[in-house]
Amino acid sequence: MLNWAKPFNIFCLLDNQQYQSFSPSGDGGNAFESLLAVGCKANIELNAGNAYPQLKEFYNAHKGWLFGHLGYDLKNEVEQLSSANFDGIGFRDLHFFVPEIVLQLKENRLSIFCDDNPQIIFDSIQACSAEISAIKNMPVIKNRLSHEQYLSTIKEIQQRILRGDCYELNFCQEFYAEPASIDPIAVYQQLTKLSPNPFAALYKLNDRYCLCASPERYLKKMGETVISQPIKGTAKRDLANKLLDEERKTSLLNSNKERSENVMVVDLVRNDLSKICQEGSVKVDELFGIYSFPQVHQMISTVSGRLQNDIHWVDAIKATFPMGSMTGAPKKRVMELIEKYEQTKRGLFSGSIGYINPEGDFDFNVVIRSILYNSNTQYLSFQTGGAITFYSNAAEEYEESLLKAEAIKTVLQ
């Protein structure tokens, strides 16, 4: 399917990497195993300013399947903030497209949604090679921040916390390579093979790509129910030593630091959902759930609510984006501080990729553990970070940041 989609200027693959059982929300799991949208009947591509109202108009004019992304800097439209940091990739703040063809794989059944004869599409896919080319020309990865710069920045942030500016701040650093010449499909296949995660995505928008191996859901709508599943809390796995691996899992569950970070984000998500949900309906379905992935154990909580009757899905996004797990608390103030202390514009990183189906339900991930790539400028970038509190250990936060980058570095090097 990916080799068949490769010639299209725009496509979006969403893949749960066979995590059918990954459903701490109790919602029965994902609605599909993989969903591939290709081609473009109509699209909208905007920067923050008047993006949400225009997206609403676009959707109302093109109800049906819709795929695309929300960039982190949509925050500027809602909170009257700004972004002036370096951006080497060039994704605009918002892009959605009405696909020509949608392929949905579920329970070994392929459904094809299109205006043409689906048999012709199926035959053309079958005629494509199933081989993925090997990765060549390994790029040289550089750190945007030195170790010393990272540690000193964490200490400055902690002074901000001590003064009462904020409680928790998600601080990220960039790793990059230029010039970098990669085959995005080959790298994506290697990345998801090494680090399969339930909210993986491969997204192409002309010369820009996102190769995403995300474990985190931002927001899902099913009928009148919305759920969010923030992640805060990470522990490295040791697959060679089962006993040590279980000890790390238990240690993560019992860590006061990780629990305090997680509960702060849960409170932030509850506050965000209360803006769009019926009074008294917002609840924490699961607090401090521990879920294991190939590289790490993660602490995941689930918050849900029942939407108010008159809430448009675009307004639900506007009220809750960017997600609390990638900002901190209080939300507006930490987003101001993030702009001050980070050296790279986040762009699509810590934004979201997802879809809206013809029934008006949607599912959006959190763009983390992801490679962003501009094939025209040959600039490659990925960012990692973590929640900083007053009790954070700067050296340990640096190591956690490297841990989150490990799978990507392994694939690229």
- Which residues are catalytic, by number? 216, 232
Measure the CA–CA gap between 86 and 99, rounded to whole angstroms.
Answer: 31
Residue 343, both tokens = 């050296």
- CB-count exposure of residue 105 (10 Å: 0-12, 13-18, 19+): middle
Asked if residue 218 lies in contact with residue 317, where contact means CB atoms within 8 angstroms, the answer is: no
Q: CB-side exposure of 387: number of CA atoms within 13 Å?
A: 29
Closest listed residue to residue 273, CA positions, set 305, 298, 308: 305
Would residue 141 be called left, alpha or beta, if left means φ above 0 and alpha means ψ between -120 and 50 degrees?
beta
Q: How far is CA 243 from CA 236, 237, 239, 289, 292, in A?
A: 13, 11, 9, 20, 14
Phi and psi (nearest 5°) for 392? -65, 145
Closest listed residue to residue 1, CA positions, set 122, 134, 133, 182: 122
Q: Where are the alpha helices (DSSP H) in 108-198?
A: 118-126, 147-162, 184-194
Asked if residue 203 lies in contact with residue 8, where contact means CB atoms within 8 angstroms, the answer is: no
List, in order, residues 6 or more apart from 281 with CB less than 8 Å away.
305, 306
- What does the angle CA 354 – CA 322 – CA 342 come to, to the nearest 5 degrees? 115
Secondary structure (3-state) at 128: coil
Residue 97 one-letter amino acid? F
Asked if residue 195 lies in contact with residue 369, where contact means CB atoms within 8 angstroms, the answer is: yes
List, in order, residues 6 or more apart from 119 with CB less than 8 Å away.
none
Q: What Rg value do the Cα atoms of the chain yield, rounded?
A: 20
